[in-house]
Chain A
């Protein structure tokens, strides 16, 4: 029914004069609008973005219509006043990791190169829905990282202090405080007793698809061409400068090209002859049948890799480790499912009664130190954004903003100065876990 209405609207639109078409796309969403449309049988809604035919050339071509690419285009137009921008997406907008993640946002990092960036991102989340006039269901429901040993308490105390020194919020909870929030947890597990938690109240969850849609609509309304079913298959580079990209819909010229393709980073940058400090790995996630409200925040188990929250529809959304071997398959294997289930059982045994509804996977751009890259390349006009590992959803607003900053001004944003390609050569790794050049351990 909705799809049908969309089709009719698209057909009508095709016959409208240009100015009229423009106006339809500046429709503002509001509570009043929802009520007005309800009274009119929802006949006034128009598609949230156009479906334009690619032009011969743009000032900026962003490769990848995931969260980061769409946010980059939105901020390029809105905050940096740029025009003639296109986003090229090989499939449909938001069909990649932005629509596959477990929707957690937080800024609870330890290291200098990371924490200011993620705190900037969290601040952007806090104002995002007003910024792009879209309900992304930003829910600051609080995240706790559970503590099971004295050593872990020391480490989390240090982390909390580092967070506060960078202006973020952090609280150390004792066992009773955690018990008051989640009485059903397995506090007296002989091997992994719960001794407390590090809490960030401003952390939480966001409706992931709505983030892609909101940024898409924001960018489109400012004239950005969002071009779907358009795979980049090559790059035209002459005398060390990029001239544009070859695509499944023909050559598209560009003064500047910004690549933000997450798990496909190595494949796309290979078109420029580059070999990246990245491996692609699969990460799985799971959702249970809908249950009555039981977990109102986000929680991570500190003695195995398991984390969980509950969606507004009631499903327990949870996950754990990456599968651990190079993969582009977008599906994982059973051993990790078993491992995640064991983590869940150790933490909250009653989860064993819930039925699993769905499991899926996404391809992660795992970097050599577990931290991302937002940088120019050695090719003039070619810029790269990737290496987000399993934590790039929370980064979406800041990643888009900082990449737009770099593309428009050719200098890194102050919170992203450490995200350089050459940090491995210079020994300036940002390795939160201290694992070394072993992507499957980050």
Chain B
């Protein structure tokens, strides 16, 4: 698979480390959210067959985190964003 890095252009997926569902970026506040919400965030996943937004880390590159939108049925990648931009947008929308 080729990941089209927003800054570096097309890179082989082998340069990256895969973390998982991009919802891992929305960690609940452990002081207020309660143990169930924290459990759901850490241990459960939607695991969809189809479009999946997921976190990839460019370990053998510029060490940036990316949010990649990929189809889990075909492996086709349709969107790649810097996780930083996604996180900032998320914060603004809160």
Answer yes or no: B14 CB below 8 A from chain A CBs.
Answer: yes
Contacts known (A280-B72, A437-B42, A437-B43); A328 close to B14, Cβ less than 8 A: no
In the complex, the answer to whether B35 meets A425 with C-beta atoms within 8 Å is yes
**Among listed A123-131, A270-278, A399-407, interface-contacting one:** A270-278
In the complex, the answer to whether A278 meets B49 with C-beta atoms within 8 Å is no
* Residues 266-287 of chain A, each 1 if its beta carbon lies under 8 Å from chain B, else 0: 1100000001111110000000
Interface centre among B46, B49, B54 (most CB of A within 10 A): B49
What 4 A-B pairs are tightest by C-beta distance, nearest first?
Answer: A266-B47, A424-B43, A328-B49, A275-B44
Answer yes or no: B88 CB below 8 A from chain A CBs.
Answer: no
In the complex, the answer to whether A275 meets B40 with C-beta atoms within 8 Å is yes
Answer yes or no: B8 CB below 8 A from chain A CBs.
Answer: no
| B interface size (C-beta, 8 A) | 27
What are 25 A-B pairs at a CB distance below 8 A?
A276-B44, A276-B47, A277-B45, A278-B47, A279-B21, A279-B45, A279-B47, A280-B47, A325-B70, A326-B20, A326-B54, A326-B70, A328-B72, A328-B73, A329-B73, A329-B74, A329-B75, A333-B13, A333-B75, A335-B14, A424-B42, A425-B36, A425-B39, A425-B43, A437-B42
Answer yes or no: A218 CB below 8 A from chain B CBs.
Answer: no
Q: Chain B residues near A368 (CB, 8 Å)?
A: 43
Answer yes or no: B65 CB below 8 A from chain A CBs.
Answer: no
A335 to B, closest residue via Cβ: B14
| A interface size (C-beta, 8 A) | 23
Using A327-B72, A440-B20 as known contacts, list a sample of 8 further A-B pairs with CB atoms less than 8 Å apart, ordered by residue number in A.
A275-B46, A277-B45, A279-B45, A280-B47, A326-B54, A335-B12, A335-B14, A424-B39
Q: Chain A residues near B45 (CB, 8 Å)?
A: 266, 275-279
Q: Chain B residues near A279 (CB, 8 Å)?
A: 20-21, 45, 47
Q: How far is the CA of A187 from the CA of B40 in the complex (A)?
A: 47
Answer yes or no: A214 CB below 8 A from chain B CBs.
Answer: no
Q: Which of B20, B35, B44 contacts A438 (CB 8 A)?
A: B20
Answer yes or no: B57 CB below 8 A from chain A CBs.
Answer: no
In the complex, the answer to whether A333 meets B1 with C-beta atoms within 8 Å is yes
Q: How far is the CA of A218 from the CA of B43 in the complex (A)?
A: 37
A425 to B, closest residue via Cβ: B39
Q: Chain B residues near A267 (CB, 8 Å)?
A: 47, 49
Q: Chain B residues near A349 (CB, 8 Å)?
A: none
Q: Chain B residues near A329 (CB, 8 Å)?
A: 72-75
Q: Chain B residues near A438 (CB, 8 Å)?
A: 19-20
Chain A interface (Cβ < 8 Å from any Cβ of B): 266-267, 275-280, 324-329, 333, 335, 368, 424-425, 437-440
In the complex, the answer to whether B46 meets A266 with C-beta atoms within 8 Å is yes
Q: How far is the CA of A333 from the CA of B70 in the complex (A)?
A: 15
* Residues 54-82 of chain B, each 1 if its beta carbon lies under 8 Å from chain A, else 0: 10000000000000001011110000000
B74 to A, closest residue via Cβ: A329
In the complex, the answer to whether A440 meets B18 with C-beta atoms within 8 Å is yes
Q: How far is the CA of A425 from the CA of B43 in the complex (A)?
A: 9
B19 to A, closest residue via Cβ: A438
In the complex, the answer to whether A327 meets B75 with C-beta atoms within 8 Å is yes
B35 to A, closest residue via Cβ: A425
Interface centre among B40, B52, B74, B75 (most CB of A within 10 A): B75
Q: How far is the CA of A327 from the CA of B20 in the complex (A)?
A: 11
Interface centre among B18, B40, B43 (most CB of A within 10 A): B43
A331 to B, closest residue via Cβ: B75
Q: Chain A residues near B48 (CB, 8 Å)?
A: 266
A324 to B, closest residue via Cβ: B18
In the complex, the answer to whether A277 meets B14 with C-beta atoms within 8 Å is no
Contacts known (A275-B44, A277-B43, A424-B39); A325 close to B74, Cβ less than 8 A: no
Q: How far is the CA of A276 from the CA of B45 in the complex (A)?
A: 6
Q: Chain B residues near A328 (CB, 8 Å)?
A: 49, 72-73
Q: Chain A residues near B36 (CB, 8 Å)?
A: 425
Q: How far is the CA of A170 from the CA of B45 in the complex (A)?
A: 37
Q: Chain B residues near A335 (CB, 8 Å)?
A: 12-14
In the complex, the answer to whether A439 meets B39 with C-beta atoms within 8 Å is no
Q: Chain B residues near A326 (CB, 8 Å)?
A: 20-21, 47, 52, 54, 70, 72
Q: How far is the CA of A51 from the CA of B72 in the complex (A)?
A: 33
A34 CB to nearest chain B CB (Å): 43
Interface centre among B19, B21, B36, B48 (most CB of A within 10 A): B48
Q: How far is the CA of A276 from the CA of B40 in the complex (A)?
A: 9
Q: Chain B residues near A276 (CB, 8 Å)?
A: 44-45, 47
Q: How far is the CA of A120 from the CA of B20 in the complex (A)?
A: 34
B8 CB to nearest chain A CB (Å): 19
Q: Chain B residues near A440 (CB, 8 Å)?
A: 18, 20
Q: How far is the CA of A328 from the CA of B75 in the complex (A)?
A: 9
